[in-house]
Amino acid sequence: MPWWLELIRAIVGTIILFTGVAVVAAMFGVLLERKISGWMQSRLGPKHVGPQGLLQTLADTLKLLQKENIVPHRADRAIFATAVIVVPLAALLDYVVIPFGTTRWGPLIFRDLNVGVVYFAATSSLVVVGILMAGWGSNNKYALLGGLRSAAQMVSYEIPMGLSLITVALMAGSLSTVTIVNAQAGLWYIVAQPVAFLVFLTAATAEVNRVPFDLVEAESELVAGYFSEYSGMRFALFQLGEYGEMFAMAGMAVTLFLGGWRGPVLPPVLWFVIKLYALIFVFMWVRWTYPRFRIDQLLNFSWKVLIPVSLLNLVATAFVVMVMHR
Amino acid sequence: MSGEAIAFYVLAAVTLGSGVVVVTSPNVVHSAVALVPTFLGVTGIYVLLSAEFVAVIQVLIYAGAITVLILFVIMLTEGGTGIRARQRNEQGAIGAAVAAAMAGLLIAVAVRTPWARLPGTLPTYTPGAIGQSFLGPNLLVFEGTSVVLLVSLVGAIVIARKEE
Amino acid sequence: MTWADLSLIAPELALAAAACAALLQDAWATGPALESRSRGPAAAWIALGGVCAALLLLGVRPAGAAQVGFAGMYVRDGITRVVDLAALAAAGLGVMLSPPYLERFRLPAGEYHALLLLSTAGAMLMGASRNLVLLFLGLEMLSFPLYVLAALARRSRRSQEAGLKYLLLGAFATAFFVYGVALVYGASGTADLSRLGRAPDVPLLHAGVAFLVIGLGFEAALVPFHAWAPDVYEGAPMPATAFMSVIAKVGAFAGLLRLFPQALPQLAPAWGQMLAAIAVATMILGNLAALAQSNVKRLLAYSGVAHAGYILIGIASGGPAGSSAVLYYLLVYVAMNLGAFGVLLLLERRGEEADRVEDLAGLLGRAPWAAVVLAACMVSLAGLPPTAGFIAKLYLFRAALQDHRVALALVGALTSVVSVYYYLRVASVALSAGAADAVAVRHSRFAGVGLALAAAGVLWLGIVPGAITALVQQAVQALR
Distance (Å, whole) CA A290 – CA A294: 13
Distance (Å, whole) CA C444 – CA C243: 18
DSSP B162: P
CB contact under 8 A, C200 and B116: yes
CB contact under 8 A, C141 and B148: yes
Total domains, chain C: 1
pLDDT confidence of residue C329:
93
Q: Cβ distance C246 to C337 under 8 Å? A: yes
Q: Cβ distance C37 to C28 under 8 Å? A: no
Q: Which of C309, C218, C222, C210 is nearest to C260 (CA)?
A: C210
pLDDT, mean of residues C145-169: 90
Hey, is the C-beta of B132 within 8 angstroms of any chain A C-beta? Answer: no
pLDDT, mean of residues C48-69: 86
Q: Note whether A touches C: 3 CB pairs or more under 8 A.
A: no
**What is the largest distance, in Å, between two alpha-carbon atoms of chain A?**
66
- Beta strands C74-76; C347-349: pairing state: unpaired
**How would you write A24-37 as a 3-class SS string?**
HHHHHHHHHHHHHH
Helix axis angle, C132-150 to C109-127, nearest 10°: 160
Q: Where are the domains of chain A?
A: 72-325
> Would you place residue B119 in the very low, low, confident or very high pLDDT band (cuts 50, 70, 90)?
low
- C464-467 long-range CB contacts below 8 Å, 24 or more apart? C465/C328, C465/C388, C465/C391
Helix axis angle, C109-127 to C78-97, nearest 10°: 170
Higher pLDDT: B89 or C53? It is C53
Counting as low any pLDDT under 50, the low residues of chain A are none
Q: Model's pTM, two decimal places?
A: 0.89
The vertex-B78 CA angle with B77 and B80, nearest 5°, equals 65
Hey, is the C-beta of B33 within 8 angstroms of any chain A C-beta? Answer: yes
| Cross-strand bridge partners of residue A108 | A101
Higher pLDDT: C187 or C242? It is C242
**pLDDT tens-place string over residues C158-210:** 889 999 999 999 999 999 999 999 999 888 888 888 888 888 888 888 899 99
Q: Which of B161, B150, B153 is nearest to C19 (CA)?
A: B150
Complete DSSP assignment for A229-240: T--HHHHHHHHH
| Ranges B55-64, C248-257, C437-446: which has the least confidence | C437-446
CB contact under 8 A, B147 and C145: no
Quote the minimal CA–CA distance from A266 to chain B in Å.
Answer: 34
| Cross-strand bridge partners of residue C27 | none
Q: Cβ distance B31 to A79 under 8 Å? A: no
pLDDT-above-70 percentage for chain C: 97
| Residue C346: other Cβ atoms inside 10 A | 23
C289-328 exposure pattern, b = at least 16 Cβ within 10 A, e = fewer: bbeebebbbbbbbbbbbbbbbbbbbbbbbbbbbbbbbbbb
Residue C356 phi/psi, 5° resolution? -95, 155
The vertex-C105 CA angle with C100 and C106, nearest 5°, equals 95
Q: Which residues contact A320 (CB under 8 A, 6 or more apart)?
A: none
**pLDDT tens-place string over residues B46-101:** 888 888 888 888 888 888 888 888 888 887 776 555 566 676 778 888 988 998 99
- Looking at the domain covering B1-86, what would its CATH class be? mainly alpha
**pLDDT tens-place string over residues C306-323:** 999 999 999 998 888 889
pLDDT confidence of residue B144:
92
Question: What does chain B come to in residues?
Answer: 164
Distance (Å, whole) CA A303 – CA A203: 12
Q: Which of A186, A219, A213, A214 is nearest to A306 (CA)?
A: A213
With H, G, I as helix, E, B as strand and everything else as coil, classify residue C348: strand
Distance (Å, whole) CA C404 – CA B137: 42
CA C297 → CA B19, C288, C426, distances in Å? 39, 16, 12
- B122-126 long-range CB contacts below 8 Å, 24 or more apart? B122/B50, B125/B50, B125/B51, B125/B52, B125/B53, B125/B54, B126/A114, B126/B53
pLDDT confidence of residue A90:
84
Above 70 in pLDDT, residue B162?
no
**How would you write A154-194 as a 3-class SS string?**
HHHHHHHHHHHHHHHHHHHCCCCHHHHHHHCCCCCHHHHCH
pLDDT, mean of residues C41-55: 90
Query: Alpha-carbon dihedral of residues A138, A139, A143, A149, nearest 10 degrees?
Result: 110
pLDDT confidence of residue C87:
95
List of chain B residues whose C-beta atoms are within 8 Å of the C-beta of residue C72: 137
Quote the minimal CA–CA distance from A201 to chain B in Å.
Answer: 20
CB contact under 8 A, A2 and B3: yes
**pLDDT tens-place string over residues B4-37:** 788 889 999 999 999 988 888 887 888 888 888 9
pLDDT confidence of residue C338:
93
List of chain A residues whose C-beta atoms are within 8 Å of the C-beta of residue B67: 129
Residue type at C255 in one-letter notation = G
pLDDT confidence of residue A69:
78
CA A6, distance to chain mean position in Å, is 27
Averaged pLDDT score across all residues of chain C: 88
Q: Cβ distance C267 to C201 under 8 Å? A: yes
> Would you place residue C110 in the very low, low, confident or very high pLDDT band (cuts 50, 70, 90)?
confident
- Beta strands C439-441; C347-349: pairing state: antiparallel
Distance (Å, whole) CA B91 – CA A284: 58
CB contact under 8 A, B154 and C140: no
Q: Cβ distance C18 to C46 under 8 Å? A: yes
Distance (Å, whole) CA C370 – CA C436: 15
Q: Which residues contact C63 (CB under 8 A, 6 or more apart)?
A: C78, C81, C474
ipTM reported for the complex, 2 dp: 0.90
| Residue B6: other Cβ atoms inside 10 A | 12
Q: Helices H, strands E: what count in chain A?
A: 14, 2
Q: Which of A197, A202, A191, A227 is nearest to A283 (CA)?
A: A202
pLDDT confidence of residue C38:
52
Distance (Å, whole) CA C428 – CA B106: 51
pLDDT, mean of residues C138-154: 92
pLDDT confidence of residue B82:
55
Q: Which of C339, C413, C346 is nearest to C376 (CA)?
A: C339
CB contact under 8 A, B81 and A136: yes
Quote the minimal CA–CA distance from B104 to chain A in Å.
Answer: 33
Above 90 in pLDDT, residue C53?
yes
Above 90 in pLDDT, residue C149?
yes
Distance (Å, whole) CA A296 – CA A4: 51
Q: Which of C453, C371, C452, C442 is nearest to C103 (CA)?
A: C442
**pLDDT tens-place string over residues A117-168:** 888 888 888 888 888 888 887 877 788 888 888 878 888 888 898 899 888 8
Distance (Å, whole) CA A236 – CA B121: 49
Beta strands in C392-452 (DSSP E): 439-441
pLDDT, mean of residues C20-46: 78
Mutate which: A8, A132, A158, A165, vs B, most B CBs within 10 A:
A132
List of chain C residues whose C-beta atoms are within 8 Å of the C-beta of residue B155: 115, 144-145, 147-148, 151
> Residue C229 falls within a domain, yes or no?
yes
Distance (Å, whole) CA A313 – CA A165: 11
Mutate which: B66, B141, B143, vs C, most C CBs within 10 A:
B141
> Residue C35 falls within a domain, yes or no?
no
Q: Which of A168, A176, A188 is nearest to A261 (CA)?
A: A188
Q: Cβ distance A302 to A206 under 8 Å? A: yes
> Would you place residue B163 in the very low, low, confident or very high pLDDT band (cuts 50, 70, 90)?
low
Q: Cβ distance B88 to A160 under 8 Å? A: no
Nearest residue, CB atoms, B147 vs list C141, C183, C203: C141
**pLDDT tens-place string over residues B121-158:** 666 677 888 888 888 888 899 999 999 999 999 998 88
> Residue C272 falls within a domain, yes or no?
yes
Hey, is the C-beta of B16 within 8 angstroms of any chain A C-beta? Answer: no
